[in-house]
Amino acid sequence: MFSGVPRRRGDGTRRDFLCRVLLSGLGSTLSGRCFGRDGGLEVRRLMLGMDNFAVRAMNWKTDRLLEYAASLKLDSLFITQLDAFESLKTAYLQEFARRAAELGISVQVGSWSICPTSLAFRNDWGTAVQHLELGIRVARAVRSPIVRVVLGGQEDRRSKGGIDARIRDTIRVLQDCRSVAVDNGVKIAVENHAGDMHSSELARLIEEAGPEYVGANMDSGNALWALEDPLQNLENLGRYALCTSLRDGAVWRSDSGVTVQWTAMGEGDVDWQSYFQKFAQLCPETPVNIETISGFPHRIPIEDQNYWRAWPRGKPPGFDRFMQMAARGKPRRAWSVPRGEDRDAAVRDYQRSELERSIQFCRELGLGRNR
């Protein structure tokens, strides 16, 4: 039975072997270094944290999430749903911030779609402007320098007016909240979410809205859904990056065109040594938050001409790099609950295992300040 815990990509390769020998032989002198193909480029040690969605099946609220992050000796905790807080009252939020500061953990917060015409938009928090203003207030109370939001999802590319119309609608909301964000010292991080925007489109949104108060939440897994190499995504968005939600992914050619399956860090097809070297150059103070969402295939029917109706300008920039990844990739099995195990318990164990293996992989590359 497939356990859903594949070997790390690169285990047994010469490069991986040399990296491990160097790490074990030089010990603490390697703190803050990542080794790329050139054998030893020193980079600044990056903050390492988690996105709470990685362990969503636990249904933990913020207090328990903070305890868990502390147990993993993380530098940051990214809480991407407002309903993870027991209360949104200022006194409660400020007390949470105080406890996080005592533990040496920085906090970032986020919420959902602020595009009023997105198919993903919900009015749980009022209008789009009210929703964003609430997120800004919560961010200030918990001492988060940012509030993460999303436009929507890949289905918005086929909505009336396409993704360009949804980008315009999102920019209007951002501009309506500009003074509130600036007055509270909170920047707004828009994520490339679930295939809604290519990095080039998100960069355009940020520039048109105003990069002095709007930036990016970089999601490496979602980059694959938008037909791009995560390294290209970083190259395009790194200068705007305020926060991250990172995971690995495998991509391969399939009957439908291309299939993507997200994985734990180090177990997919992304070159993380090169990625973090570039990351340290472009956004060294941005936390590396891990958001593992693994084990299921996502098929992208690029051979079907109807698929390209969602891309009216044609193939996005860097599409050839994405296809080169797919040409090198190998199919993966989907994860399934082991026979005889309780489903809910198995899912919880699987999610924790994916996250904790990912944290360990990043530490082996030298990431993490809180050790």
Asked whether residue 26 carries a pLDDT value surpassing 60, the answer given is no
The CB density around residue 58, as the number of other CB atoms within 10 Å, is 15
* Cα separation, 112 vs 122, whole angstroms: 8
CATH of segment(s) 45-247+271-292+347-364: 3.20.20.150
- Among the residue ranges 43-52, 122-131, 293-302, the one predicted with the least confidence is 43-52
Asked whether residue 169 carries a pLDDT value surpassing 70, the answer given is yes
State the average pLDDT for the chain.
91
Identify the residue whose tokens are 């502390």.
70
Q: At what angle do helices 128-141 and 162-176 cross, to 10 degrees?
A: 50
Query: For the residues 13-38, what does the mean pLDDT come to?
Result: 38
Q: Buried b vs exposed e over 359-369: b needs ≥16 C-beta within 10 Å?
A: bebbebbbbbb
pLDDT band at 4 (very low <50, low <70, confident <90, very high): very low
Q: What is the pLDDT of residue 197?
A: 98
SS3 state of residue 34: coil
SS3 state of residue 160: coil
pLDDT digits (tens, 9 = 90+) for 330-358: 999 999 999 999 999 999 999 999 999 99
pLDDT band at 44 (very low <50, low <70, confident <90, very high): low
Q: Where are the domains of the chain?
A: 10-42, 45-247+271-292+347-364
pLDDT digits (tens, 9 = 90+) for 311-321: 999 999 999 99
Q: What is the pLDDT of residue 256?
A: 86
